[in-house]
Structure 1
Amino acid sequence: MRVYLLVMLVAAAVTYLTTPLARWLALRSGAITAVRERDVHAIPTPRMGGVAMLLGMAVAMVIASRMPFLEGVFSQPTAWAVLGGAAMVCLLGAADDIWDLDWFTKLIGQVLVVGLMAWLGGVQLVSVPIAGRTIGSAQLSLVATVLVVVVAINAVNFVDGLDGLAAGLIAIGGTGFFVYTYLLSRDASSTDYSNVASVVVAVLVGACLGFLPHNVHPARIFMGDSGSMLIGLTIASAGIIVTGQIDSAVVSDRQSIPAFLPIVLPLAVLVLPLMDMGLAVIRRVGAGRSPFHPDRRHLHHRLLQLGHSHRRAVVIMYLWTAVVAFGTASLAVWSTSSALWALGIGAAIALVLTLGPLRGHVLRTTPTSRGASDDHPRTDARHRSGAPVDR
């Protein structure tokens, strides 16, 4: 555990120290989020914080590969494939942060990056840890992998609408996921606790934690598409990696349940982003509009409309993520009934805080605090393209 915590600390420290450099690059390259009438933030703010997050992850991975405890993890190309995929998708996002790419170009780029990572690096969804089921063909495995990762990438993109929201959600959900993967590796082997998924999640959580001090309200820099794509790909890849590490003869049915959930989308960590994206698509298509048509009805917008302050809305979404992520991870150590009781109690507390008396007056429509707007568009031209955007 101490080795993983050290790796996480390295990723956090490097990200924290290089974020001012990313901010400088954003200002020099024109990667700045403009303010429009319906935006929540009050001043133009540089984006492209994902570049600093990538640097933190890369340095931490290199150092981890030199540690004797983790040597076996890096004997296979999987971890490096994830880092390579993260680097490519971060560059794609950085291009979008600077030049405002249209949604179709971004989607094609995401598919190509994930396809390369899966095909050349072996990061593929090949089995489901329930009843030993496997995907029937290499082609189907590749398609399933691309679908899962691309959905996760765009789910994070959709939810990143308030200062510190996406980075905090992934840090909290990733911590729950890390706990599960660590317990899984510990149960599978009494002598070797090293685990590819644990390393990947540890460096991701560290990068998110290192970025948060610069991104909490009022943010000095946004992660941009370079960051949202990066963390979406990484957390989904970690969920996929877990499928190749679960031995049905070692892991009980109870323990396989929390592994199955992250595989599907990965649900346990990205429950709020996926819910937000799903509701947005249903809402817009039902109204006869494009699923990428912007509106102000995301989950974070609704919390603001309920009367929560900017920071309180973020904390409430943190709480919901913690309830689901840690409730799922608890299945590795508790009985199903105990885990469900804990999940129910946590959900009840979160619901009371969401709808309870701590709410203030309904937020005025005139922006007074820093956040994001309808799918976070940055320019009028970007809005006309109908593209889904992140900060």
Structure 2
Amino acid sequence: MLWTLNCLSVLLLCIFCAGIVIPQILLIAFRRRLFDMPDERKIHQGVVPRLGGIAFKPVVFFSFALVLGINLLLGHTEILVEAERNASTLTFGFCTIMILYLTGMADDLIGVRYRAKFVIQILCGLMLIAGGIWIDNLDGVLGIHALPAFIGYPLTVLSVVFLINAINLIDGIDGLASGLCSIALLVYGIMFFHCGQYIYAMFSFATLGVLIPFYYYNVFGNPEKQRKIFMGDTGSLTVGMMLALLGFKLLSLEPSESGVDDSFLMVCFFSPLLIPCCDVVRVYLHRVRNGRNPFLPDKNHIHHKLLAIGMKQRTAMVTIILVSLLFTLSNLLLLQFLNINWILFGDFFIWTIANIWLTKKIKAINNEKLKIKNE
């Protein structure tokens, strides 16, 4: 009961605090004219601040610390025992979040070269390993189980960089990144709570709580009334690092302490992140194949494809989020009947077929437009 109350408290506290902080950020952004200006690559019209992510880390850390303090004040020392047991992971993990939060803020305000961001992300991956979190088991993926440190360490760093950039690059239309991350955080929070990892459950629900008010202002905010905001790199890098910390911690749980099968934890980890991760791989390969710099932006992401076939922004966002939710629920259900590798193969097959269909559809639409223009 205590931990249920703590998780609910930190969720509601983050919703409340973010609901107060985000309008203040909007006010400052418009007074100081800190906008994300539209251009040929961007979809939005008009001036919109992109500093919403500035609220994320302070609100989550404040709410988390406040709930911890209230528990100690009331004599509930169980939360302190949990925090001490995970002290190494939490301290290094919070440092990585702080580093990427500051990096994202600098990028939103003055710009940061992508090479510098990669170096910082690699440093964050190393700090996560120092905190005791690294990929030491693939839980049967491709038939691989235990991994030695000389393979697990580089794989962890690579995965951290990959995941952070996947979240950063999927942030292309209103509500998409925050919606997909919310699904992942909800799944992680429930799983941590089920496994008795209450500190991480609280952290998951706290991060979910800060995304809910942001989602409202991002999707339903009116730019003409100065109520719309983007998360910017501050938000996407921060949330990406939070997901990396929580996701890899979930993977590191042993069956003896989690009470569930390793394969179930692996499916819980990758299923909510399947769309952003698959999308970034496809986009990078497309850029390399066409002789372009894989780190420079374009309009070839999955949401761009849906917009190209005539979907409206909000329809595309809702479609992608629902597909992500469908992948997550169906994967967890199918794990009772299929091996994890068959589930992965099925996911990638469906993703590939869907992208081939979208590409053909876009070509047909463009050909039709060209034909009409020539006539």
Shorter-chain TM band? 0.7 to 0.9
The alpha-carbon deviation at position 102 of structure 1 amounts to: 1.5
For 2:59, the equivalent position in structure 1 comes to: 56
Structure 1 pair 259/306, CA: closer, same or farther in 2 (3 Å)? same
For 1:122, the equivalent position in structure 2 comes to: 132
CA–CA distance in 2 between the matches of 1:125 and 1:65?
A: 29
> Is 1:32 the counterpart of 2:44 in the alignment?
no
> In the alignment, which of 2, 10, 15 is matched to residue 12 of structure 1?
15
**TM-score under structure 2 length normalisation:** 0.78
> Is 1:233 the counterpart of 2:236 in the alignment?
no
Structure 1 pair 147/22, CA: closer, same or farther in 2 (3 Å)? farther
Q: Residue type matched to 1:210 in 2? A: P
Superposed, 1:97-116 pairs within 5 Å as: 97-116=108-127
**What is the SS of the residue equivalent to 2:40?**
coil
1:90 and 1:226 in contact (8 A); partners too: yes
2:30 and 2:49 in contact (8 A); partners too: yes
> Is 1:135 the counterpart of 2:147 in the alignment?
yes
Corresponding residue pairs, total: 333
**TM-score under structure 1 length normalisation:** 0.75
For 1:85, the equivalent position in structure 2 comes to: 96
Whichever of the two has the greater Rg, that structure is 2
For 2:313, the equivalent position in structure 1 comes to: 310
The alpha-carbon deviation at position 239 of structure 1 amounts to: 1.2
Structure 1 pair 325/174, CA: closer, same or farther in 2 (3 Å)? farther
1:177 and 1:269 in contact (8 A); partners too: no
Instruction: List per-residue Cα deviations over 1:42-81 (Å, max 9, x = no partner).
Output: 1121112111011221122213434335333311222343
CA–CA distance in 2 between the matches of 1:132 and 1:310?
A: 40
CA–CA distance in 1 between the matches of 2:314 and 2:64?
A: 32
Per chain length, whose mean CA-contact separation is higher, i.e. which structure has more relative contact order (CA < 8 Å, sep 6+)? 1
User: Which protein has the bigger helix share?
Assistant: 2
The alpha-carbon deviation at position 179 of structure 1 amounts to: 2.4
For 1:94, the equivalent position in structure 2 comes to: 105
> In the alignment, which of 14, 28, 49 is matched to residue 46 of structure 1?
49
Structure 1 pair 62/151, CA: closer, same or farther in 2 (3 Å)? same
Q: Residue type matched to 2:38 in 1? A: V
Task: Give the percent of matched residue pairs that are identical in Structure 1 and Structure 2.
Answer: 24
CA–CA distance in 2 between the matches of 1:26 and 1:142?
A: 41
CA–CA distance in 1 between the matches of 2:157 and 2:180?
A: 23
- The unaligned stretches of length 5 or more in structure 2 are 359-364, 367-375
Q: Residue type matched to 1:125 in 2? A: I
CA–CA distance in 2 between the matches of 1:64 and 1:141?
A: 35
Over the aligned positions, Cα root-mean-square deviation in angstroms equals 3.2
Structure 1 pair 63/256, CA: closer, same or farther in 2 (3 Å)? same
**What is the SS of the residue equivalent to 2:135?**
coil
> Is 1:256 the counterpart of 2:259 in the alignment?
no
CA–CA distance in 2 between the matches of 1:140 and 1:30?
A: 47
Q: Residue type matched to 1:216 in 2? A: V
For 1:151, the equivalent position in structure 2 comes to: 162
